[in-house]
Amino acid sequence: MQESNPRRTLGALGEDCAERYLRTRGWRILARNARADGVEIDLVARRAGTVAFVEVKTRRGRSHGAPEEAVDARKRARLVRGAAAWLQQNRCRARRVRFDVIVCERGADGTWRLRHLEAAFDAEG
């Protein structure tokens, strides 16, 4: 069976890659593709007292620039709003909240390269 939306397939593969990466580093995944206040949050993860809201950017190459550049000021503001709503909806307390970006790039040979930008931005943007 063929997937009708190839971009969605690539995005889902990148999220799988990011999730595995976080799990191997001791993070517990609290949610994937969570929705709060009309915002989709790719991954919500917890380790010790920190909750990380993770935006995953997946690309086949750099023809459209660096993937993390897609997390612009407007996207960051939406993620901050969604994170606040998610924390409230789930009555989740954390000593620290941060916003990470994980970039997954799939090479022509099918291998994945991953970069984790920890605390890529804060709630002020």
CATH number (domain holding residue 58):
3.40.1350.10
User: pLDDT (tens digit, 9 = 90+) per residue, 19-57?
Assistant: 999 999 999 999 999 999 999 999 999 999 999 999 999
| Phi then psi dihedrals of residue 110, to 5 deg | 90, -5
Q: Please tell me whether the overall predicted TM-score, pTM, comes out greater than 0.85 for this model.
A: yes
Show Cβ contacts of residue 100 under 8 Å, excluding neighbours closer than 6 positions.
52, 53, 54, 55, 116, 117, 118, 119, 120
Q: Which structure tokens are listed for 15?
A: 């999220």
What stretches of 24-89 adopt beta strand conformation (E)? 28-36, 39-47, 50-59
Q: How many domains does the chain have?
A: 1
The pLDDT of residue 125 is 53
Report the percentage of the chain scoring pLDDT > 70. Answer: 89
Residues 89-107: what's their mean pLDDT?
Answer: 92
Whether 51 is in a domain gets the answer yes
Instruction: Let me know if residue 75 belongs to a domain.
Output: yes
